[in-house]
A and B are shown apart, each in its own frame.
Chain A
Amino acid sequence: MSLALEMQHITKIYGEVRANDDVSIQAAAGEVLCIIGENGAGKSTLMNVLYGMTRPDGGTIRIGGKEVSFRSSRDAMRHRIGMVFQHFMLVKELSCQENIIIGMEPAKHFVIDRKAAKTKIEALMDQYGMRVALEKPAGELSVGEQQKLEIIKVLYRGADIIILDEPTAVLTPQETAELFVNIRQLAAAGKTVIMITHKLDEVMQVADRIVVMRMGKVVGETKPADTDVHGLSVAMVGAEIPPMRERKETRKEKALEVCGVTCRNEDGIAVLDCLSMVVNKGEILGIAGISGNGQPELARVVTGLLKPQEGKVLLMGEDITAHDRKKRIQDGISFIPEDRNSTGACLDWSIEDNCIAGYQDRFTGRLDVIDREKARTFTESMIQAFRIKTPDGRLPISSLSGGNCQKVIVARETAFQPELVVAAEPTRGVDIGAISAIHNHMIELRNEGTAVLLISSSLDEIFELSDRIAVMFEGKLTALLDPKQVTREEIGLYMSGAKREEELQWEKS
């Protein structure tokens, strides 16, 4: 087999972070190459470099043996590279056919030749055994079909190297199985498929070759026959699954109760479907699940940012369903939101202003005047307690690194003895030092008797912190598990919806 693609010594630096550090990969025609690694391992950066969306700080790319340099994704397309993004690049209101041909329309004097387009697409669909209804608006397709549409779009553009970015993150198990059949067909037809993912069982099914990345570097390369899921996870995480943290015994007393909460989105789909759960004082309940199963909505319902259509929310036995966000802050529900840049912090503001956000009432004195002295002292104490690296609390928070910015948010949200902390992806995109600081702090909180609802897409984080693990699937909690007894594989089954418990026993533990 000849090498279709070679990437050599690719380096990409963002600020202090080496997102890609001397990364080299290659792939042959007709090969399925899987790149695995945890969130932040540098997979996406590498693919963005390959697709011309990011310019590397160093390294070379060769396509079919010839060195190339991409200034934009158009250049990459010209070299027959196609990419299917995790968030589909479809115009939902336009028909599938229009989505496929846009930018490469068959036309006579600028008038689109719809028939020619249709013939060409039909031929492609027959060849690769993927079908979508061409006349339908793309937005009306199911997620799986939309993905097919994206792949057809890439094929229509004549791509020989097809990049799939986390293609299964949003798929049902059936759709995933179908996708893998399609991928094999593509490879059989001589296409190079590069799939990036962090789901190990899938890699074992579909890959010809596996490249493992960790912290911006390639740390291993193997074939499915030479390894197993366990081996891959060790390579990926760098060690065994981390042990659960030491923790104190705490009293079991209900802090948060959610009873039969249902939430529908604008399309009428129930994103939360009669969901119930209990979080006890001095407990970390971890919510595991594939993204897109209602986790953000759950966090928003509990914290008062989203009103459920049905159901109740209780805190320490008191019905707080009617309480708005402000009231819930006063009730002692604090929230570390998943998106610190758009929700958790105001980037135009100083660290100090961000430190009092949500708790501004506590710093307000007579005549509605904010007590700056108090705010400053508080900010200084937070900076010290969390070792936030900054010379001055009056600097804009945007001057901080991602990890330090997140520390500001965690510090603020845990400073005023909350009853319940809802932590959504508390360590996403954060450096290792900050991760361990934040994790330590959450265990401390738990030991002091605070209830913690942890929502994370990182299973490691869930295992490391949780006293109990609940699995979320399609707006419901489908399993309640003991992290000491459950395996990753078993959780995977629940996460994919392949397995579910009939009734969750919230009281037992």
Chain B
Amino acid sequence: MSGVLHAIVEPGFFDSGVVRIALETSAAVALLASVIGVFTVIRGQSFAGHALSDLGATGGSAAFLAGVAPLWGYVAISVAAAGAMESIGIERRRGRDLATGIVLAAGFGLAALFLFWDTTVAGASDATNEVLFGSMWTISPGTVPVVVALGAAAVAILAAICRPLLLSSVSGELAAARGVPVRLVGALYLLALAAAVALSCLAIGAILSTALLIGPAATALRLTRRPWRAMLAAAAIALGTCWLGILLAYDSFYWPPVHHGWPVSFFVVALIFVCYLATRLRVRR
């Protein structure tokens, strides 16, 4: 029995402090991202959700340069970008796509400048990788309370606007007819999304942030059309894939060709993608 267990879980998995922090942080982020993601997918704002995580790199590199904690760079840039997208924002979906693109283009320009200064002026040679990819193994214990606080703020906003948001996501005209301030609800939602993306970028990196935001929600919405059930299913998928990904990455430490472990983000993304493809096969039948 213990032989089988050892084959699945390398010894020391449950004793390692690093692993425990990774499991806890990723659980918090996975739950938050997947629930917000259901709204993101229904509203068709995947691009905004992804762009905010890319823009986080701009904030991270600026914070690196200014010598403050990267968290503040991420939060400041996400909120600013969400505001900019909203103010350019055009009601039609194509216009929203364009607004996101313009903000992203400007953000990339600034990121190029900040990263250039990071490497030339501040002399931090690994700044690019750190800012762009993040790593779940390097979460410091001090980050956890901040992640929790930001996550709580996003959840509070979401809970407050939950019903009108759902209505205006499904049918904007109906919501407007019933007196829902559609624009305000949309802006508040974007703010919650920005906070969630900022903290998940920081905790688990930009790739996983988008993956956890869109993947589980899209999978869940193919399984059920009811929003509340979809949120539950998305949370379960996100949590499952995250933890399994961490376990596989831990095990992969002894895998070829290099003995320093395969990246967590690869495993989680692959698992999420397999889940999504499985639901597509199911629907086809």
Q: Are A and B associated in one complex?
A: no
Residues on A facing B (Cβ under 8 Å): none
